[in-house]
């Protein structure tokens, strides 16, 4: 029986050592996984911050555009309500080119290639394209297309 006790002590000591090593390994594994998760969260946070910066930039551009449109509208209304003195009439004989130009029907009004995005968005919407298709063709965010369409919706309705 005395021979059995040291043998059991050795086995018990070895089992405890294996359990401790396994515990340390699982603690290290947990620490490693948490580190990886933290890296992923930091990358996601950086991506989200970049998207937020881009959205803020687009919002600032839209705000400037809205202000410009409001100023133009105010100037137009002010000009409309301000009476202007009639200009003296000058009778000129029409030239041949002017007569031909008046007789010819006006060409189809398509915006030039370098026209603003807002003009292109409105033209494409008039042609029946969806906001998603417009955003994809112009390679701009869908939110920007929707914002431009909302900005110009009242003025386009009043013009109709």
Q: Which of 9-13, 88-92, 129-133 has the lowest mean pLDDT?
A: 88-92
| pLDDT exceeds cutoff 90 at 17 | yes
Q: 102-119 pLDDT, tens per residue?
A: 554 444 344 445 468 888
Let me know the angle formed at the C-alpha of 133 by 144 and 68, rounded to the nearest 5 degrees. Answer: 30
Q: Residue 76: pLDDT band by 50, 70, 90 thresholds?
A: confident
> Is 23's pLDDT higher than 80?
yes
């Amino acid at each position: 029986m005395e021979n059995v006790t040291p043998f059991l002590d050795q086995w018990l000591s070895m089992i405890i050592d294996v359990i401790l090593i396994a515990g340390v390994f699982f603690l290290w594994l947990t620490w490693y996984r948490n580190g990886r998760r933290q890296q992923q969260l930091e990358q996601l946070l950086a991506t989200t911050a970049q998207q937020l910066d881009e959205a803020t930039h687009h919002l600032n551009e839209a705000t400037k555009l809205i202000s410009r449109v409001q100023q133009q509208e105010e100037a137009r209304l002010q000009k409309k309500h301000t009476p202007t003195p009639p200009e003296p009439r000058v009778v000129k004989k029409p030239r041949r080119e002017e007569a031909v130009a008046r007789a010819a029907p006006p060409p189809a009004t398509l915006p030039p290639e370098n026209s603003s995005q807002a003009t292109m968005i409105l033209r494409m919407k008039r042609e029946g394209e969806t906001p998603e298709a417009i955003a994809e063709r112009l390679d701009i965010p869908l939110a920007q297309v929707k914002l431009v369409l909302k900005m110009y919706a009242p003025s386009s309705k009043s013009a109709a």
